[in-house]
Amino acid sequence: MSALKQRISDDVKQAMRERDKERLSTLRLLTAAIKQKEVDDRLELDDGHILALLDKLIRQYSDSIEQFKKGNRYDLVEKETRELQIVLHYLPTQMTRDEIASLVADTIDETSATSIRDMGKVMGALKPRVQGRADMSIVSELLKQQLSP
C-alpha cells in the first residue's frame, strides 16, 4: 500500500474516533475515488497516481466553488472550500514560481528542446517531477515563455 493511501486510511480512522463528520465524509469520498480508480484501471495506485487523482479532485472543487459563487450559493461555497482544504492537506509542499521556472529550464536542457514544437516532449518529462507539487497551467505557461523565441 502506498504511503499516501495509508495516511488517508489512518486519517479516516482518526476522524471516526473524533466524530468529525465533515472531515470523515470528505475522506471517505477521497477513499472511494481511489478505490474506483483502482477498480477501473485494475491496479493498485502508487503515490504518483494518487497525487494525479488529488489534482483532478482539486480542479473539480475549484470549478464547483466558482459555479456556486456565480449562483450566489455562498453556503455551498463555504462547504466546498472546507472540503477542498481537507484534500489540499495531502498534497506535498507546493513549488514556487521560481522553482518551477528553474525546473522547466533544466528539463528543456535535458530534452534538448529548441522550439514550441517540442513542448509535448518537455511536458512529458516535467509532469512526473511536478505532479501534485505545482499547478500544471503555471508549468505550461512558463514552458511556453521559455520556448518562445
Q: What are the boundaries of each domain within the chain?
A: 3-88, 97-147
Burial 89-106 (b: 16+ CB within 10 A, else e): ebeeeebeeeebbebbee
> Residues 6 or more apart from 148 whose CB is under 8 A from it?
116
pTM for the full model? Answer: 0.77
Position 15 scores a pLDDT of: 97
Q: HSE on the CB side for 106, CA within 13 Å? A: 10
Position 1 scores a pLDDT of: 79
Position 139 scores a pLDDT of: 93
Question: What does the pLDDT look like over 18-76, one tens digit per residue?
Answer: 999 999 999 999 999 999 999 999 999 998 899 889 989 998 999 999 999 999 999 99
Helix (H, G, I), strand (E, B) or coil at 112: coil
Position 21 scores a pLDDT of: 95
Using a pLDDT cut of 70, give the percent of the chain over it.
100
Class for the domain spanning 97-147: mainly alpha
Return d(Cα 56, Cα 33) in angstroms, integer: 10
Report how many helices (DSSP H) and strands (DSSP E) the chain contains, helices first: 7, 0
Contact 81, 110 (CB under 8 A): no
- Among 124, 139, 135, 131, smallest CA distance to 50 is for 131
Is residue 98 scored above 90 in pLDDT?
yes
Position 136 scores a pLDDT of: 85
Q: At what angle do helices 47-70 and 74-88 cross, to 10 degrees?
A: 160
Class for the domain spanning 3-88: mainly alpha
Highest mean pLDDT of the ranges 6-15, 42-51, 109-118, 130-139: 6-15
Position 48 scores a pLDDT of: 85
